[in-house]
A and B are shown apart, each in its own frame.
Chain A
Amino acid sequence: MPQMLFMDRVSKRYDSGQEALSDVTLRVDQGEMVFVTGHSGAGKSTLLKLIALMERPNKGRVVVGQTDLAKLAARHVPLHRRRIGVIFQDHRLLADRSVFDNVALPLVVSGYSRRDIGRRVRAALDKVGLLNRERQFPVALSTGEQQRVGIARAVVHKPPLLLADEPTGNLDPDLSREIMHLFEAFNQVGVTVLVVSHDLGLIKRLTHRTVRLEHGRVL
């Protein structure tokens, strides 16, 4: 399998002096599903931020697909982000927009036609089981439902790489399992999935590769 993600001796130090990642090397193949675990502050979130270009590494190389992110010009950063779907622990939905408009955002910024947007948004909402809630606003939904809207937004433009940052952090075990099965379903249709989670119990039951981070290093 060709590589989807390759991090080559990557280090990231924040301006505060905190060393979030040091000398991390990680390879994820296309179509793989990988868990990244570790204590809070171990650098899990930083890892995802480097991939989505929300941060730049101080040292080392990050390659997504065939693209070396260090060589990516600023004007191509948006295009790079369109090839990735990101899910956050706090889901980061826009409170003043309906579920439909939230999910549609990645398509709107990419300039899809109105008809395509409607079709794709409904398909994405259907996958996460929220098709009948498209008119509602995020506050009217439960936490689990909000997280599923976040997932729908991350997959609506069919990105080949899906990143999830503690997607089950605020959910009870049943909902967590449900969400993880959702990721597995996406993985089965060929999407590469990278999930950051500290829910070790849940991860153990799912048989996927697990990468452990400790103090910014891969164990």
Chain B
Amino acid sequence: MRKTWWKILGAVLVIYTTIAGLLLGVPHLAILNETIRNLYFHVPMWFAMIVLFSISVFYSVKSLSSKSEIDDLKAVESVNAGIIFGVLGLITGAIWAKYTWGQFWSFDPKQNFAAISILLYFAYLILRNAIDEEQKRAKLSAIYNIFAFPMMVVLLFVLPRLKDSLHPGNGGNPGFNSYDLDSRMRMVFYPACLGWILIGYWVYTIRFRIRTLENKHQQN
């Protein structure tokens, strides 16, 4: 129980926010209307992705100095889990965009930069596939991961602010601040973020354990 409390918490929070997010009242804003509920499902994906990618950079730094295979596996599995959340973030965003902007993909700067930052991590995985030697693979991919992380931060948090975007929070569109005025949404949004981050971390630990078991199996 002491070890699994956060898994239970994550599951309960996600179930709660899914139900409450669909049923509880929301403020009625023009254009957004009921699609405002996507805030509970779309934004936490990005938070979970950022947390997982940060974990990956942390273990990449660690694996450069420790040279241990475990740290390398942790780094790659957190990237794998992070990519799942990144793709989910793109999909939830695209579905939302279909009903508010009229198109799944309208080449909005936010959409483009998010897609490019996911490309960065696909490049990381391809780099890993290109190298056969395990130690070299661990070293080179850790270096690329650390080198790419600041660029991802620029892509996701700095560049979209310099461009005109239709995304909420940009260019006069209602964003976090106006949602925050409504405490009903805050009651669901913050637990949703925490819940999805915990679920993401859980996915990553499971993937990591499967990989270590597979490695053990291969060595025997």
A and B bind? no
Q: Interface on A for B, CB 8 Å cutoff?
A: none
